[in-house]
Amino acid sequence: MAVELYAYTCGFVTIPYGFLLQGMKGRLTVPVPAYLIVHEKGRALFDSGLNLESQTDPLGYFGEDGLKYNTFHFLPGEEVSARLTATGIAPEDVDIVINSHLHYDHSGGNAQAPNAQVLVQSREWAHAKATADQNLGYLAKDFDTGQKLRLVDGEHDVFGDGSVVCLPTYGHTPGHQSLRVQTELGGEFILCGDACYLKKTLEDLHLPGVIADQAAAMAVLHRFREMQARGSKIMFGHDPDFWKTVPQAPVRLG
């Protein structure tokens, strides 16, 4: 089945480096990615970037405590709806938003695809609902948008032909998932989300400083290594150096 894959940069955030790699000092500015998958059965986004409120009113959106740890670099035209429009896709025509997980920088743009069904692991949805607005990761205004939900458990074939498959990669959060995309142009891609932030994470098996389940996250990294050895292209979640090498839409990634 012919599948097209495109990458978008939906702003940047500066966060403590130790969040990404345990023990590291200082801060790092990282990209906020989103991906468009075009299949004959529909258009899907993998992650949706930041909420527009973080662009227009970051203090009101995230509060003083949030801005101690997060600095948004998010300009008009960088939101996922504008990225879609610039590549000839109406946001209203997106059929599915597949969220790796429901943290603010991965689900904040969900509502910008108003007609899309949201596909997320059921355990991630339950955890997000239970902890919404109690920590800085899960904000109800990002993910609890009233959109139709497709809650799944474990591996899930999105279009039924094996070309786009959700892979459970629990660890970063209790219900994190990554996405395997098989393309004719570029072969197989693994969209990691936050299961593998940086190239160094995978090379050194260096876990983040903030993580829900260290053992599960380490098992995922070993799985990614095996996939990479078989030829899969690992798309690291927030690696600024790696991201500079990633073709941006309208150029096809795969």
Q: What ranges do the domains of the chain cover?
A: 3-243
Averaged pLDDT for residues 113-126? 98
pLDDT at residue 14 in the model: 97
Q: For 162-173, what is each residue's pLDDT tens digit? A: 999 999 999 999
How far apart (Å, rounded) are the C-alpha atoms in residues 189 and 183?
Answer: 8
Does the structure show a pLDDT above 80 at 136?
Answer: no
How far apart (Å, rounded) are the C-alpha atoms in residues 89 and 52?
Answer: 19
Is residue 20 within 8 Å of residue 238, measured between CB atoms? yes
Give the mean pLDDT of the chain.
96
Does the structure show a pLDDT above 90 at 134?
Answer: no
Q: What are phi and psi of 243, to 5 degrees?
A: -65, -25
Helices (H), the chain: 17-20, 53-56, 58-69, 80-86, 104-107, 122-131, 140-143, 199-204, 214-229, 240-243
Confidence grade of residue 54 (pLDDT, cut at 50, 70, 90): very high
Confidence grade of residue 53 (pLDDT, cut at 50, 70, 90): very high
Averaged pLDDT for residues 41-65? 94
Is residue 22 within 8 Å of residue 208, measured between CB atoms? yes
Assign domain 3-243 to a CATH class: alpha beta
Does the structure show a pLDDT above 80 at 37?
Answer: yes
Spatial CA neighbour of 219 closest among 16, 19, 115, 227: 227
pLDDT at residue 1 in the model: 64
| Peptide linkage before 250 cis (omega within 30 of 0) | yes
Q: For 185-208, what is each residue's pLDDT tens digit? A: 889 999 999 999 999 999 999 999
